């Protein structure tokens, strides 16, 4: 379990460091990620196992210096320690997520190709990030804390961040499931040596509850198998947890997120 935890940390950092403007490690357990936006979206303080109050305060000072709000992400093992921090700063609860991993034996279960419904096809849209981003607009509507920027600003910035990763030659594949010419579901697959990470798994609101995201995930896992990937990680929302477990992913730990004003 400990090795899986460390592996998850590594891939998490690899992904966020690739797309964010800057990353500052306070110490091994406290990491900050900065975007250009003056809203919480994509501005993070991550508190991993053994994070200290002092390291959090140093991280928070960096955001204060830039006059930026942030999302505080706390590993469940540290939540009790930081309860007073959340209360004192009146941070807004933004829910729980689960770090998960798919090992090599379960990954091999996805070696076979998938059958898509009539009129659907999957394309890698590294050269068309606008199509890749389109389903995310309704799949993940912006939170009230991010409302001042607006949907267009947030999504256009996110496109720019992913283009930044591609410009860095990060091995990142932006999959889109199309219904005819309409982007319906989106997924980002980041490959780092023999490890993969899934992100940005979302389906346009009008196409949800049809199993389309699951088809796209299965396709990405087939690509992982073909590429010789040994393990795959992701961070699951509570809504998606059951789906990922059915695909063979196993929980490692939970995160709790809180948004600063």
| 142: CATH | 3.40.630.30
Q: What is the pTM of this model?
A: 0.94
Domains in the chain: how many in total? 2
Residue 147 has a pLDDT of 53
Q: Give the other-Cβ count within 10 Å of 62's Cβ.
A: 16
User: What's the burial of 154, exposed, middle or buried (CB within 10 Å: 0-12/13-18/19+)?
Assistant: buried
* CA 223 to the chain's CA centroid: 19
Q: Tell me how far CA of residue 32 lies from CA of 141, 155, 219, in angstroms.
A: 24, 21, 32
Q: Which residues does 63 contact at the CB level (< 8 Å), separation at least 6?
A: 32, 43, 45, 69, 70, 260
Same domain, 90 and 109: no
Same domain, 8 and 71: yes
Residue 145 has a pLDDT of 55
Residue 146 has a pLDDT of 55
Same domain, 58 and 120: no
Asked if residue 185 belongs to a domain, the reply is yes
- The strand pairing partners of 25, in sequence order, are 31
Backbone angles phi, psi at 72, to 5 degrees: -95, 120
Backbone angles phi, psi at 68, to 5 degrees: -120, 135
Alpha-carbon distance of 39 to 35, in angstroms, equals 9
Residue 239 has a pLDDT of 86
Same domain, 150 and 242: yes
**Cβ atoms of 46 and 17 closer than 8 Å:** no
Asked if residue 258 belongs to a domain, the reply is no
- The strand pairing partners of 234, in sequence order, are 100, 198
Which residues constitute the domain of residue 96?
A: 2-100
Tell me which H or E stretch contains 64.
Answer: helix 53-65
- Domain end, chosen from 100, 117, 135, is at 100
Residue 139 has a pLDDT of 81
Same domain, 172 and 113: yes
Per-residue pLDDT of the chain (261 residues; tens, 9 = 90+): 669 999 999 999 999 999 999 999 999 999 999 999 889 989 999 999 999 999 999 999 999 999 999 999 999 999 999 999 999 999 999 999 999 999 988 998 998 889 999 999 999 999 999 999 999 998 887 665 555 555 578 899 999 999 999 999 999 999 999 999 999 999 999 999 999 999 999 999 999 999 999 999 999 999 999 999 999 999 999 888 999 999 999 999 999 999 997
Token code pair at residue 100: 């998960």
- Domain end, chosen from 71, 100, 129, is at 100
Same domain, 82 and 162: no
- Domain end, chosen from 43, 73, 100, is at 100
Residue 140 has a pLDDT of 81
Same domain, 120 and 244: yes
């Amino acid at each position: 379990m400990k090795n899986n935890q460390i592996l998850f940390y590594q891939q998490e950092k690899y992904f966020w460091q690739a797309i964010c403007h800057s990353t500052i490690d306070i110490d091994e357990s406290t990491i900050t990620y900065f975007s250009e936006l003056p809203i919480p979206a994509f501005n993070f303080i991550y508190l991993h196992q053994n994070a200290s109050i002092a390291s959090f305060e140093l991280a928070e000072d960096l955001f204060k210096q830039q006059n930026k709000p942030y999302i505080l992400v706390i590993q469940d093992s540290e939540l009790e320690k930081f309860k007073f921090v959340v209360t004192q700063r009146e941070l807004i609860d933004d829910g729980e997520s689960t770090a998960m991993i798919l090992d090599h034996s379960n990954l091999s279960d996805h070696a076979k190709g998938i059958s898509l419904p009539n009129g659907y096809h999957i394309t890698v849209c590294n050269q068309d990030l606008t199509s890749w981003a389109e389903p995310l607009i309704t799949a993940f509507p912006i939170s009230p804390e991010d409302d001042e920027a607006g949907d267009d600003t947030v999504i256009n910035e996110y496109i720019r961040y992913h283009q930044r990763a591609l410009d860095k030659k990060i091995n990142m594949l932006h999959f889109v499931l199309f219904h005819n010419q309409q982007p319906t579901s989106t997924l980002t697959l980041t490959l780092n040596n023999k490890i993969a990470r899934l992100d940005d798994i979302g389906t346009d609101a009008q196409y949800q509850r049809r199993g389309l995201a699951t088809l796209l995930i299965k396709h990405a896992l087939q690509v992982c198998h073909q590429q010789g990937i040994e393990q795959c990680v992701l961070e699951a929302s509570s809504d998606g947890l059951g789906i990922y477990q059915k695909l063979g992913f196993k929980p490692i730990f939970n995160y709790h997120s809180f948004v600063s004003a």
